[in-house]
Amino acid sequence: MYLNENLSQKDLNKIKKIIKKEIKSLEEKKLEKKIKKIIEKEIKKIKKEEEEKIHEISKDMLQSFFDLMYKEKSVWQKKVKLK
């Protein structure tokens, strides 16, 4: 495809600037998308790790409660009178 009119150097420079600006804009959008993907992936990873920690803490807490209630019956039997 050819242009039928002669373009001046000034016009050519303007066209080049517009093209460069558009290319830069596209690159920034692609980079932004990549960054978002990476951040979302890391957030999911962190959430999974937190869930595992919460599970472990809950498990330890329940085990401690079990130890208190069943291994040391005398402590809670004094507080609660069983019939």
Q: What letter would DSSP give residue 7?
A: P
Residues 6+ apart with CB under 8 A from 68: 75, 76
The whole-angstrom separation of Cα 28 and Cα 34 is 10
Compute the distance between CA of residue 11 and CA of residue 34 in angstroms, rounded to an integer. 35
| Cβ(57)–Cβ(64) below 8 Å | no
pLDDT of residue 6: 73
pLDDT digits (tens, 9 = 90+) for 22-76: 999 899 999 999 999 998 998 888 888 898 898 999 999 998 888 877 777 777 6
